[in-house]
Amino acid sequence: QIELMEILHVVHGDTVQERLFSLNGAPREVIRNSESVTCIMPEVGRVSVDYRPENRGVSLIGLIDPKQLADRYQFSMMGSARIAGRAAKVVAIIPRDEYRYGYRLYLDEASGLPLKSDLMDEQGTPLEQIMFTSLEVSPTIPSQDSGAASNKRLPEVGQKSYDGHVEKRRWSFQALPMGFALTTYTHLSSKEGGKSAEHLVLSDGLASVSIFVEVGESEPRLDGASKMGAINAWGSLINGYQVTAVGEVPAVTVREVVQAMVLSDVVDIKDD
């Protein structure tokens, strides 16, 4: 499956804005910033807005530090390549165990931007590839290009608004796959009176796993494994809660993450 996207990425100080517009298939547009994600679907007449909890940035993973990741990944240079008409250096990131995928990055020699990235499975076969066919780097972006190109008057549906706080959490882990640690915990309470939820993010410094916890029903909505492309998920009922782990990691990772979760007394996350 191939999807063509036009991507606009703008940085002003600490503020990051992104606009993604689909060039094939049904028209779709996604506008992201530090506060919200807006999805515009003109063909079906919908605009969906999901507000991000406070103090949540666009990216969950920071800069890659090879020294800090050395016990989890092996880094090696694989020569040069040419992507989108630009010279690039190729870096291989090879996992040292079964709990994470590998990566092959093609970095623009002029700017350091990734021109292409390959996500590799346990056998070294590409699961997912992202590649620029053209790239323009400019110190400024015309203001008319930084907003939505689609009809802004479409009705909003599926609008979500949450109060998020990170002071307390009720979940701990007996044992996690080596290198993974809790980086984000958010309790989501719906302002519209719906069910609350908890969102936890684990990271090994490169790969990440999102965990969603909601009050469960008598039967689990997801029990066991689910897979879509490079994304694996594992769901289970734990003490009456539906727990679902999702990430671009091998199936064994999300399974062991869920199986390691323990519901405990409320603890101060700052003490961990």
- Euclidean distance between CA atoms 218 and 239, whole angstroms: 11
Is 204 buried (19+), middle (13-18) or exposed (0-12) by CB count in 10 A?
A: buried
pLDDT exceeds cutoff 80 at 266: no
What pLDDT, on a 0 to 100 scale, did the predictor assign at position 270? 43
The whole-angstrom separation of Cα 205 and Cα 96 is 14
pLDDT, position 34 = 77
Q: Which two tokens stand for residue 177?
A: 């796959």
Overall residue count recorded for the chain in this entry: 272
> Tens of pLDDT along 191-209?
555 677 899 999 999 999 9
Tell me, what amino acid is at 20?
L
Q: What is the pLDDT of residues 80-102, one digit of tens each?
A: 999 999 999 999 999 999 999 99
C-alpha span between 33 and 58 (Å, rounded): 6
- pLDDT, residue 155, reads 46
Strands 168-173 and 197-203: unpaired
Q: Which residues pair with 235 in a beta bridge?
A: 224, 244
pLDDT in tens, 154-166: 444 444 444 444 4
The per-residue pLDDT of the chain, averaged, comes to 82
Q: How far apart are CA 209 and CA 173, in angstroms?
A: 14
Average pLDDT (223-246) is 93
Quote the pLDDT of residue 141.
62
Q: What is the per-residue pLDDT across 36-83, written as a single tens digit (0 to 9) for each?
A: 888 998 887 778 777 665 444 434 345 788 899 999 999 999 999 999
Q: What percent of the chain has pLDDT over 90?
A: 49
Residue 122 has pLDDT above 90, yes or no: no
| Spatial separation of the C-alpha atoms in residues 183 and 53, rounded to whole Å | 15
Q: Is the pLDDT of residue 147 over 60?
A: no
Q: CA–CA separation, 129 vs 178, rounded Å? A: 26
The answer, yes or no, to whether residue 239 has pLDDT greater than 60, is yes
Give the phi and the psi of residue 143 in degrees, each rounded to 5: -60, -30
Percent of the chain with pLDDT over 70: 79
Q: How confident is the model at residue 249 (pLDDT cuts 50, 70, 90)?
A: very high
